[in-house]
Homo-oligomer: A and B are copies of this chain.
Amino acid sequence: MAEFDLIALIRSRAAASAGSMPGSGEGVVLGIGDDAALLRMPAGHELVVTADTLNEGVHFPAGTAPADIGWKALAVNLSDLASMGARPAWCTLSLSLPREDAGWVSAFVDGFQELAAMHGIALVGGDTTRGPLSIAVTAMGWVECGAALRRDRARPGDDVWVSGTLGDAAASLALDGHVPPASGEPLPAVDPAIAAWLGDRLRRPLPRVAAGRALMGLAHACVDVSDGLLADLGHVCERSGVGAEVWLERLPASVALQRAFGARRTSFQATGGDDYELCFTAPANLREPVSLALEQAGVEATRIGRIVAGEGVRALAADGTQWRSPQSGYVHFG
């Protein structure tokens, strides 16, 4: 199978799902099939662009189902668009494959397009090349001029919030033996149904696109939780020139995580990463509208701390003492 056949396969699948949801394919003058795509932006908007790559053996283990890889390769990019408050529009896909395997590509595209259709994002270009399995996606969206949520707008006195629950993906990684347990303690025995639920959170994260849109005009600063809550909130603090306090006992946990790990869940929540929830700051007088906006977007919001003058993130235990993590935020090198 030549590159052109794989591209034809991806192209036909992308075309079939375009228009399957209102807004999908909007602005696409010319999609896959020329040297480049031609796209039209609505007036009064800024283009929002992000690029994230998944490599086998680094971001997912060998043998991961191709549909899950396709879903997640798009999800991590949609999560970045979500954290800016952007509406997803278009994406490119650069797929490096060790073998010419139409079955694998077909299943991969299934997962990719399943999520793409949910968010009306159109695949408009890319390439397939021979090489170790690697998936590089660039996602593009729109946001009203000047209205994007950014990392550099947190202010002292802001509440710190997080969407959904934290730690599920990291707990699943630990249960699967892909990371050492946080404290050297043996892993707990976990009900298979609970382990499966946690695994879904790892393999099929739900990018909080609607939540990001709902937070525009409410949130001051926003980031998605990919490297770990404390690391990502640290990025917000550094870019905003502020510090933060996080109250660990407030970190939202799924029922599954509580059942599986009990009180040992904290390090997964604070530093585990791969959550793809939104961490954001907002003025204290907007607590009610923030809660309502996220409820309407279909996800719970939890207030977990506050922005202070100074620098750095202090994670506080229930007794007010500062917490030191046995793990650190996910770092790709070293």
Q: Which residues of A contact B (CB under 8 A)?
A: 1-4, 6, 29-30, 33-41, 43, 46-59, 80-81, 83-84, 86, 90, 92-94, 96, 100, 124-132, 134, 136, 138, 140-141, 143, 145, 148, 150-152, 222-224, 239, 331-334
Asked if B50 and A332 make an inter-chain contact with CB atoms under 8 angstroms apart, the answer reads: no
Report chain B residues within 8 Å CB of A57: 131
Majority secondary structure, A binding face: strand
Check A2–B332 contact: CB distance below 8 A.
Answer: yes
Contact A127 B52 (CB under 8 A): yes
Measured CB to CB, the closest approach of chain B to A131, in angstroms, equals 3
A84 to B223, CA, bound (A): 35
> With A38-B148, A131-B57, A138-B138 in contact, do A52 and B333 touch (Cβ < 8 Å)?
no
- For the complex with contacts A39-B46, A51-B126, 19 further pairs of A-B residues with Cβ separation under 8 Å are A2-B334, A33-B151, A34-B150, A35-B224, A36-B84, A36-B86, A38-B47, A38-B48, A38-B143, A39-B47, A41-B41, A51-B127, A52-B94, A53-B94, A55-B132, A58-B129, A94-B136, A96-B134, A130-B332
Contact (Cβ within 8 A) B333 A1 = yes
Distance of A169 Cα from B41 Cα, bound (Å): 38
* Separation of A143 and B43 alpha carbons in the complex (Å): 16
18 sampled A-B residue pairs with Cβ under 8 A: A1-B333, A2-B331, A4-B331, A30-B150, A33-B239, A35-B84, A36-B48, A36-B49, A36-B86, A40-B47, A47-B140, A50-B92, A51-B94, A52-B94, A55-B130, A55-B131, A130-B333, A131-B132
Task: Please report the C-alpha to C-alpha distance between residue A30 and residue B132 in the assembled complex, in whole angstroms.
Answer: 33
Smallest beta-carbon distance A53→chain B, Å = 4
Instruction: Give the residues in chain B near A83, CB-CB below 8 Å.
Output: 35-36
How far apart sit A34 and B94, CA to CA, in the bound complex (Å)?
A: 22
Bound CA–CA A54/B54 (angstroms): 16
Contacts of A2 in B (CB 8 A): 331-334
Closest Cβ neighbor of A50 among chain B residues: B36
Identity of the chain B residue whose Cβ is nearest the Cβ of A97 in the assembled complex: B333
Contact, CB under 8 Å: B30 / A148: yes
Asked if A29 and B46 make an inter-chain contact with CB atoms under 8 angstroms apart, the answer reads: yes
A82 and chain B: residue at smallest CB distance: B35
Shortest distance from the beta carbon of A299 to any chain B beta carbon, whole Å:
18
For residue A39, which residues in chain B have a CB less than 8 angstroms away from its CB?
46-49
Do residues A333 and B100 form an inter-chain contact, with CB atoms below 8 A? Answer: yes
- On whether A151 and B92 interact (CB within 8 A), knowing A58-B129, A125-B51, the answer reads no
Whole-angstrom CA separation of A41 from B334 in the bound complex: 39
Chain B residues whose C-beta falls within 8 Å of the C-beta of A4 in the assembled complex:
331
Q: Which of A128, A145, A223, A332 has the most CB of B within 10 A?
A: A332
